[in-house]
Amino acid sequence: MRLVSTFLAASAAALLGSAAFAQEEALSLDDRVNAVFSDVTGPYVSFIFMPFPGTDFPWIVMWLVVAATIFTIYFGFVQFRFFGHAIALVKGDYSDPNDAGEVSHFQALATALSGTVGLGNIAGVAVAIGIGGPGATFWMIVAGLLGMASKFTECTLGVKYRNEYPDGTVSGGPMYYMQKGFDELGLPGGRILAILFAVFCILGALGGGNMFQANQAHAQISGIVGDYPGVITGLVFAGVVFAVIVGGIKSIAHVTEKIVPFMGLLYVGAALIVLIANYDMIGAAFGQIFAGAFTGLGVAGGLVGALIQGFRRAAFSNEAGVGSAAIAHSAVRTNEPITEGFVSLLEPLIDTVVICTMTALVITISGQLITDPETGRFVLDEAGAAIRTIGDTSGVALTSAAFATAIWWFPYVLALAVVLFAFSTMISWSYYGLKAWTYLFGEGRTSELTFKVIFCIFTVIGAAASLGPVIDFSDAMIFSMAVVNIFALYFLMKLVKRELDSYSDRLRGGQIRRFKA
Amino acid sequence: MTVKLVVGLDGQASGERALAHAQHLAELIGDCELIVTYVIEWSPYSFQTAEENAQRHRRREEEIATATERLVDPAVAKLRAAGLTARGLVRHGDVADTLNRIAGEEGVEQIIVARMSEGGFVQRVFGSSTSNLVMSAVVPVTVVA
């Protein structure tokens, strides 16, 4: 995410830089904000994204991947053992028909996915492949598969420890399981962790889940229609977001929520068309992916470079371990919290293993990455930091160019998809931020309205300005959520294990009723 | 043995016609229980925002209360006032599937519904709830014109 944000912030800066004099004042304001913000937040941002000495492997990525590995082993490879059961749950095979009208497992999964599937799958993967080569895909898939166990852990706890209010509404998420779970185990510090998480979540929602999205949406739109002030995009987006989250204009949200899955399917469908059109190159592409995973095929950093980029992209894309999904999944009404954990483990699979891999395959077989015909190795740019591409594209532009090799008009659809994904992610994160806000300041109309108005103001700021350090800081906040969340999960995972063992026994014993044959 | 009949309401005049026919049948049968049912159209595969999900349980309760109060209870009261045995049910789901399921669970003899008034493109593509019910019914269905 940080790589993408840096790339897009740079793009937006370039766009704004060429704008008219009227924008120069805004730029100078940006510069001032940047300077102040960098001084205050720079050390913290550097700490979060700090690489291990002698490498450029950020410790935060290792933190996420190690946790995912530990959860995978601790729960006995739950993502593989219960994969079929997760599908059956989503299909509604275990749903009591008398509970119809409540949030279904499918709906909770779709809502959570609309918050994660988006720009990272399109732009982020292109950045990873551009730097780490096709081999990054292999490590991305590995990290996605491991991340399924992290989602399982946090979402089970999210449902188990949510708050249910007398009026029938619910609030859930890491804040609640940290506080209640630690109390249940007699451990101190749960409330402190919860407050810390909530603060990070609010800042992450305003930044990565809002400003960053608005910023990228503006970059996309201006790329199609030509340069124009970002404040216009910001105001339009803020107006629509305001109408949805404050005005309760559900029809807009409904349209988006319907179009986004359609766009997701369209994206995967288009990727399959590109793959079928180049079916003779699929074998070679997989060859490059496997060879690149272990040798690097001459990319910057070799094997380690591919591994870093793959892990990094997966961790940043599917948000496994960040805790955001636990908020989204906690609305399901079930007597078995663990069933929502099973369903949630499909999220990294769809987001990373399927959609990110599709992007990676399309880029790999499209021939956009330039190779030396004599050695077969990738040609690096002058700085030796990334693979040279036809037309010197990277990020969204690289993905777009790769699709255009088979479907010339797809870049237009892709631009629309990026904007819709951005909007959908903003709606999701407005909710995550709201839940963290109400945890800190209490539920209530005034409290909620305050956060929602602040959220809309930040939408305008995000689209209008190229506030690189602010966006870096908000990315850092999202990964700070992961630091606190995973720390808590290590203490709470025994509670999930208890649930898993009990449920497994009852499932085997036939006590878990299947309603559909 | 008491004969059970399910009557499907649709909140429109057509539903009233189905109810009137069911009442007539019940009077002819004698020992008969009428199960007055209103199905709130709902798909578990629809897409919702996180906020809607969080409020879903409350909304469901409100939807059931409104349908019970405005449609089902008055219909049941009317039947009881006519000296018949009747009770009400409100369920969420696909109309045809739900009426069928209730018929199976309750062991009813017949489902009575009205010819639905919906039309146009949706009906042409997916068929009306009534036609779907007729196509999949596990018990005889009477469709009131």
pLDDT of B29-46, one tens digit each? 989 999 999 999 898 988
Query: pLDDT (tens digit, 9 = 90+) per residue, B71-106?
Result: 999 999 999 999 999 999 999 998 889 999 999 999
Average pLDDT score over residue span A494-515: 93
**Of A362-371, A429-438, A485-494, the least confident:** A362-371
| Cross-chain Cβ contact A170/B47 below 8 Å | no
% of chain A with per-residue pLDDT over 90:
38
Distance, in Å, from the CA atom of B38 to the CA atom of B41, rounded to the nearest integer, reads 9
Q: Which candidate from A106, A169, A434 shows the least CB-CB separation from B55?
A: A169
Distance, in Å, from the CA atom of B68 to the CA atom of B14, rounded to the nearest integer, reads 18
- Averaged pLDDT of chain B: 87
**Taking a contact as any Cβ pair under 8 Å apart, which residues of chain B between 42 and 81 contact chain A?**
42, 44-58, 60-61, 63-64
pLDDT above 60 (res A276): yes
Query: pLDDT (tens digit, 9 = 90+) per residue, A229-273?
Result: 888 888 999 998 888 888 766 666 666 667 777 888 888 899 999
On whether residue A513 sits in a domain, the answer given is no
Residue B32 CB contacts under 8 Å (≥ 6 apart), including other chains: B2, B3, B4, B5, B25, B26, B84, B85
The pLDDT assigned to B117 comes to 53
Q: Where are the alpha helices (DSSP H) in A124-229?
A: 125-132, 135-160, 174-185, 190-206, 212-225
Query: Which of residues A498 and A169 earns the better pLDDT score?
Result: A498
Which of B45, B49, B64, B98 to mutate: most A Cβ within 10 Å? Answer: B49
Domain count, chain B: 1
The answer to whether A257 faces chain B, any CB pair under 8 Å, is yes
Name the residue type at position A90: V
Q: What is the CATH number of the domain that holds A292?
A: 1.20.1740.10
Q: Which candidate from B54, B61, B63 shows the least CB-CB separation from A331?
A: B54
The confidence band for A28, taking pLDDT boundaries of 50, 70 and 90, is: low
| Cross-chain Cβ contact B54/A107 below 8 Å | no
Q: Strand runs (DSSP E) across A350-463, as ranges?
A: none
Distance from CA of B55 to the nearest CA of A (A): 5
Distance, in Å, from the CA atom of A107 to the CA atom of A42, rounded to the nearest integer, reads 39
The pLDDT assigned to A318 comes to 87
- DSSP for B50-97? HHHHHHHHHHHHHHHHHHIIIIIHHHHHHHHHTT-EEEEEEEEE-HHH
Distance, in Å, from the CA atom of B11 to the CA atom of A302, rounded to the nearest integer, reads 68
**Taking a contact as any Cβ pair under 8 Å apart, which residues of chain B between 115 and 144 contact chain A?**
none
The confidence band for A17, taking pLDDT boundaries of 50, 70 and 90, is: very low
Helices (H) and strands (E) in chain A, counts: 24, 2
The pLDDT assigned to B84 comes to 94
Average pLDDT score over residue span A33-40: 73
The pLDDT assigned to A199 comes to 96
Q: What is the DSSP letter of A246?
A: T
Distance, in Å, from the CA atom of A317 to the CA atom of A451, rounded to the nearest integer, reads 25
Average pLDDT score over residue span B94-123: 81
Distance, in Å, from the CA atom of A351 to the CA atom of A322, rounded to the nearest integer, reads 15
The answer to whether A97 faces chain B, any CB pair under 8 Å, is yes
The pLDDT assigned to A73 comes to 97
Q: Pairing relation of β-strands B32-41 and A170-171?
A: unpaired
Residue of B nearest to A252 (CA): B49
Chain A CB contacts of B42 under 8 Å are 100-101
The confidence band for B52, taking pLDDT boundaries of 50, 70 and 90, is: confident
Query: pLDDT (tens digit, 9 = 90+) per residue, A125-172?
Result: 888 888 888 889 999 999 999 999 999 999 999 999 999 888 888 889
pLDDT above 80 (res A22): no
Instruction: Kindly provide the ipTM of the predicted complex, given to two decimals.
Output: 0.86
Of A124, A155, A98, A504, which is closest to residue A317 (Cα–Cα)? A124
* Contact (Cβ atoms closer than 8 angstroms) between residue A327 and residue A406: no
% of chain B with per-residue pLDDT over 70:
92
On whether residue A515 sits in a domain, the answer given is no
pLDDT above 70 (res A23): no
Average pLDDT score over residue span A426-445: 91
The pLDDT assigned to A40 comes to 78
* Contact (Cβ atoms closer than 8 angstroms) between residue A420 and residue A438: no
% of chain A with per-residue pLDDT over 70:
89
| Cross-chain Cβ contact B57/A170 below 8 Å | yes
The pLDDT assigned to A1 comes to 42
Average pLDDT score over residue span A168-180: 93
Distance, in Å, from the CA atom of A218 to the CA atom of A12, rounded to the nearest integer, reads 8
Query: Which of residues B133 and A181 earns the better pLDDT score?
Result: A181
Distance, in Å, from the CA atom of A137 to the CA atom of B82, rounded to the nearest integer, reads 72
Q: Which candidate from A100, A169, A250 shows the least CB-CB separation from B92?
A: A100
| Cross-chain Cβ contact B53/A167 below 8 Å | no
The confidence band for A25, taking pLDDT boundaries of 50, 70 and 90, is: low
Distance, in Å, from the CA atom of A285 to the CA atom of A235, rounded to the nearest integer, reads 43
The pLDDT assigned to A80 comes to 96
The pLDDT assigned to B5 comes to 94
Distance from CA of A442 to the nearest CA of B (A): 16
Q: What is the DSSP letter of A335?
A: S
pLDDT above 80 (res A16): no
**Of A60-64, A104-108, A292-296, the least confident:** A292-296
The pLDDT assigned to A167 comes to 86
Name the residue type at position A393: T
Chain B CB contacts of A323 under 8 Å are none
* Residue A275, number of CB atoms within 10 A of its CB: 17
Containing domain of residue A451, as a range?
A: 2-48+59-508
Query: Which of residues A91 and A221 earns the better pLDDT score?
Result: A91
Residue of A nearest to B51 (CA): A431
Distance, in Å, from the CA atom of A457 to the CA atom of A211, rounded to the nearest integer, reads 9
Q: What is the CATH number of the domain that holds B102?
A: 3.40.50.620
Distance, in Å, from the CA atom of A61 to the CA atom of A321, rounded to the nearest integer, reads 11
Containing domain of residue B131, as a range?
A: 3-144
The pLDDT assigned to B71 comes to 92
pLDDT above 80 (res B56): yes
pLDDT above 90 (res B135): no
Distance, in Å, from the CA atom of A440 to the CA atom of A436, rounded to the nearest integer, reads 6
On whether residue A285 sits in a domain, the answer given is yes
How many interface pairs between A and B have CB atoms less than 8 angstroms apart? 96
The pLDDT assigned to A14 comes to 41
**Of A45-59, A132-146, B51-65, B85-99, the least confident:** A45-59
pLDDT above 90 (res B116): no
On whether residue A35 sits in a domain, the answer given is yes
Domain count, chain A: 1
Query: Which of residues A295 and A121 earns the better pLDDT score?
Result: A121
Query: pLDDT (tens digit, 9 = 90+) per residue, A67-98?
Result: 999 999 999 999 999 999 999 999 999 998 88
Chain B CB contacts of A167 under 8 Å are 58
The confidence band for A506, taking pLDDT boundaries of 50, 70 and 90, is: very high
The dihedral sign for the CA sequence A64, A492, A161, A451: negative
pLDDT above 90 (res A13): no
Of A70, A133, A43, A40, which is closest to residue A371 (Cα–Cα)? A133
* Contact (Cβ atoms closer than 8 angstroms) between residue A118 and residue A209: no
pLDDT above 50 (res A21): no
Name the residue type at position A435: K
Distance from CA of B56 to the nearest CA of A (A): 6
Q: Which candidate from B52, B55, B60 shows the least CB-CB separation from A101?
A: B60
The pLDDT assigned to A149 comes to 96
Residue of A nearest to B95 (CA): A100
What are residue A392's phi and psi, to 5 degrees? Answer: 50, 45
Chain A CB contacts of B101 under 8 Å are 97
Chain A CB contacts of B98 under 8 Å are 97, 100
